Amino acid sequence: MERRLSRLIEMLVNLNIIDLAVVKSLDLDLGKGMSVLTGETGAGKSILLTALGLALGDRADSGYVRPECKRAEINLEFDLSNIPSARQWLIDNELDNEADCFIRRVVSDDGRSKAYINNRPVTLQLLQDLSEKLVQIHGQHAHLTLLNSDEQRRLLDAFGKNQTLIDKVNDIYREWQRTYKELENLTKASIDQSQREEFLRYQIEELEQLDLQNYNYTALSEEHSKLANLENILAIGQRQVDNLYENDQISVNQMLNQSVNEITQLSEYAPELLEICTLLSEAQIQTEEAALQLRRFIQTQEADPKRLERLENQIGRIQKLSRKHHVNPEDLPQLSDNLKRELVGLTHSSERIGELGLLTEQSLGRYNQLAEELSTRRRRQAIELQTQISLMIKELGMPQGEFIVECSAVESSAPKLYGKDKIEFMVCANPGLPPKPLAKVASGGELSRISLAIQVTTSNDNTTPTMIFDEVDSGIGGGTAEIVGQKLRRLSIGRQVICVTHLPQVAAQAHAHLYVEKNSQTDVTSSTVRQLDENERIEEIARMLGGVIITENTRAHAREMLTTGNNNK
């Protein structure tokens, strides 16, 4: 009961890894607040983030599977008690499991992978959709992503909570785009509309001469074939009438009659032959009937050269038109219907052009209204965001730094996705110098500070319950590093923050300290992770402070840093 109550405000509860790269087996419980992950360089800190990324939907390949193993497996357990959006998503997708959520990803040594949510197989896309509601990862190269203008716009909108308005803008943009493209195509078509209409009418009239209402190409072909071969049909037919019935000496009927008579006589001595006589008698009757029907057929047939000529002319026209239009003769009626529909469309295209013009104008008006509303909000939010980030970069060792969010209108007057604003992050590192785009900040250390300030500031309003920072404090040291640690600790209020760091100032601020160590004593290197107690934390922070030789003074400094960190709210 105590463990369950302690989890009520936790997010990522447990991470379990089996045979992933350097990790043979790991079962790690995670708690609320801020947790740091430290260890010697190369100990395997990054593999934990790799495991989280794979479990949350990153691309997998066989290289992740530990040597001599068949598969790697990562399991995540989340407590969703205070994450209603994720719980509702699970319900909507019929994957709910009360307040818990279990995610499993299995990667085989052939590179294939499977994903599961609450023990039910899911697609990678579904897994990624859920992951966005649970975890946000800030990589150590996040500052490179921040140089992208689309990412800068996204961060401003995330800070300002503009997503609902953006969805409306994008929906009306797509509506405008559909009507505009149809209008454009019809307008282009109308330029040579009269010529096309005349040509269509000619083609339709040509096809209608085939009497398409009563058109049956198969029947025409059969009748033509019969008339063309009638002389042969009559000759062979009469010969077969003679063979079957009318030749008294050698006809089939005469031979059957003779057989019946002779076998009937034999049946006086062998009564069992009577059944054969019956069969032969029936055959004689059938032969006579067949001969009579064949004779009636021959008597009804009459050569008709004029009809044959008409059929040949009609079939010739049909085949010529089918070649002309590149269709089978049987498909000519469908072709005529298609041409008629196109003609009707052209005839009414001017009316449609007028309708589309009105719809396009209405969509454009609604788009401009929503886009202007979005621009107004962005300009207001840009001032608020740049003020907060400017304050933070000053705290992070850039006392003269100013951060500017420039929100300007795009040059094109046509509607665009995400509105009509160009968002650009600018920085002025020293007084009197003009601001420069973030991409042109020269110092890597300055860029790291600015990147961290942006991530922390924009994350303050983020609803993602678990946030992971992978060495985002690189290039920072001294007093600035302590401030970074304080910011991350403050960010962990009400959410879970996991931070991979090399800085003792950051590690000292954590609520929990996880240590990664490598074991190279076996044939295959492995890494393990364990949570440090208070004394072990002192030793680890002392190591991070002093390197190989750790003195009592170093330990005292580490102890003081931990005390200060624990006193921070």
pLDDT in tens, 372-427: 999 999 999 999 999 999 998 888 878 888 899 999 988 877 899 999 999 999 98
pTM over 0.85: no
Mean pLDDT for the chain overall: 84
Residue 1's pLDDT band, with cuts at 50, 70 and 90, is very low
The structural domains of the chain, with segments of one domain joined by +, span: 2-140+449-531, 196-347
Return the CA Rg of the chain: 43
pLDDT in tens, 412-427: 778 999 999 999 999 8
**Overall average pLDDT of the 5-25 stretch:** 75
Indicate the pairing of strand 33-39 with strand 496-500. Answer: parallel
Q: Which amino acid, residue 235?
A: A
Residue 547's pLDDT band, with cuts at 50, 70 and 90, is low
Q: Which of 146-155, 356-365, 388-397 has the highest mean pLDDT?
A: 356-365
Indicate the pairing of strand 113-117 with strand 100-108. Answer: antiparallel
Distance CA 501, CA 504 (A): 8
Distance CA 103, CA 25 (A): 17
> Is the Cβ–Cβ distance between 367 and 418 less than 8 Å?
no
pLDDT, residue 464, reads: 74
* Cα distances (angstroms) measured from residue 259 to each of 278, 281, 427: 11, 9, 117
CATH 3.40.50.280 applies to domain 2-140+449-531: no
Residue 521's pLDDT band, with cuts at 50, 70 and 90, is low
pLDDT, residue 165, reads: 95
By C-alpha distance, which of 8, 43, 49 is closest to 28? 49
**Overall average pLDDT of the 123-152 stretch:** 80
pLDDT in tens, 428-478: 877 777 888 877 765 666 777 787 788 778 776 566 788 888 877 676 777
Q: How many residues does the chain have?
A: 569
Residue 2's pLDDT band, with cuts at 50, 70 and 90, is very low
Burial of 327 (0-12, 13-18, 19+ CB in 10 A): middle
Tokens of 44: 């395997």
> Is the Cβ–Cβ distance between 90 and 129 less than 8 Å?
no
pLDDT in tens, 287-336: 889 989 988 988 888 888 888 888 888 888 888 888 888 888 888 888 88
